[in-house]
Amino acid sequence: MVKGRWAYNWVQILAHHYGKSAVVFGALWLLALGGLFQSLALFEQMNFVWVGLALALMGAVAVKVMDSVKAGVLLFGLSLAVLGAVLGLLGWFGLALNEASVLGMVVVLALMMSNLVHVMAALLREMARGGFQHDALAEALNMNAAPILLSNLTTGLGFGVAAFYDPRLMDAAWIVVLGAAVSYAMLMTALPLILLRWFLEFRVGHYEDRHGFIGLAEKFQAYPRWVTLMLWLSALLVVMSLVYLGRKLDNLSAVGVMLATSFVVLLVFWHDLKITLMTLLSSVLSVILVLTAYFSVQNLQAISAVILIVPLGIVLDDAIHYFARYLKSKRGYFNDVESCHRFALASVGRPIWATTQILIAGLLVLSFSENTLVQQASLITLLAVLLASYIVLVWLPALGLKKAKNNR
């Protein structure tokens, strides 16, 4: 199979065998869903009214940021299907939600929504360029399948390995692993099957679809001294935050193992040490700064490392998508840093920002949950996602453009 053509072949296979494919995947989903009746205790530890409200609000925000009512409805429906399948599988495996493992559902909620938004944003962009929906679907899958797989893999493996060092994470790790697997399976099967028959509205492309956030990064580039000052200030804040969190956090070994696992996975996939380090550092930076500020205000004497792992499992997504496009341009189109950043911003800048807006809406709702850990994790993740988007879409490109200018 020719590289890059697999997505088109996959869509054609589903189209030619639509009836059989729909029956098989529908039966598998119903089988997974049947596990809900095996353990009704799944609903005791988490108020799913908040989850439903979060999904509804994320769907509504998706309608706004994507200019498509059908896209918002599709995101809402598929998210419910993924959550139902995950809960059903938990029932079949005899796993129950407890106060700590519920945090895994927060990760799954954010992970699956991010996956869907990136594919839908790429699909709508290709359609705005004049592509037929089936062709746009294949192109969207082709562009996003690898970054999404990498994002899900780092999150799932990270939680799984960390659970061996912190038993409190074991049930949450199972939830995240199952959620990552089900989310990816739905993305590659249910989404194409639906879009082969259900046509979205025509949509005119946005300026940001072509140029992303390059204008904002160029404004930073115009003030190189400010960029340098902010770089040193950020480094100082990180050092201070690490000292603070080192005294407050318990069982940091699980966090270290999760980061090490993500590092190995990214390095194996990308074969680029510099980009791997930049991906991890940009994500860790946002979580550390937000976590320090949050718990400084709360003035807590001790902090569970579990709270740190949840946002880490989510904010990596933005950086992975950005640098996946950066590497694609570096290895296939351009050989200079400036052009690579421009390509990444133009191709994935708007989807990252759309994902951020949608996740903020959902996490804001979950921050009102009765579960204290869910409250804390949702609010911290919300702030970390916002800061991570700023770092990825503005800060890193500004540094890259500044470096490119200095090398001329």
Contacts of 303 (CB under 8 A, 6+ apart): 245, 248, 249, 250, 291, 295
Which of 133-142, 144-153, 215-224, 228-237 bottoms out in mean pLDDT, i.e. has the lowest?
215-224
pLDDT per residue over 85-126, tens digit each?
998 998 888 877 777 778 888 889 889 999 999 999 899 888
Give yes or no for a contact between 378 and 371, defined as CB atoms under 8 angstroms apart: no
Encode pLDDT of 171-229 as tens digits: 888 999 999 999 999 999 999 999 999 998 766 655 555 555 666 666 666 666 776 77
Of residues 324 and 242, the one with the higher pLDDT is 324
Whether pLDDT at 12 is above 90? yes
Report for 8-22, 236-250, 324-338: range of highest mean pLDDT: 8-22
pLDDT in tens, 57-94: 999 999 998 888 999 999 999 999 999 999 899 888 88
pLDDT at 1 over 50: no
- The pTM is what? 0.89
Contact present, 82 and 183 (Cβ < 8 Å) = yes
Q: Domains of the chain by range and CATH?
A: 5-196 (1.20.1640.10), 213-400 (1.20.1640.10)
Instruction: Give every CB contact of residue 193 below 8 A, 6+ residues apart in sequence.
Output: 14, 18, 21, 22, 25
pLDDT at 380 over 50: yes
Distances (CA, A) of 8 to 24, 58, 124, 143: 21, 29, 17, 11
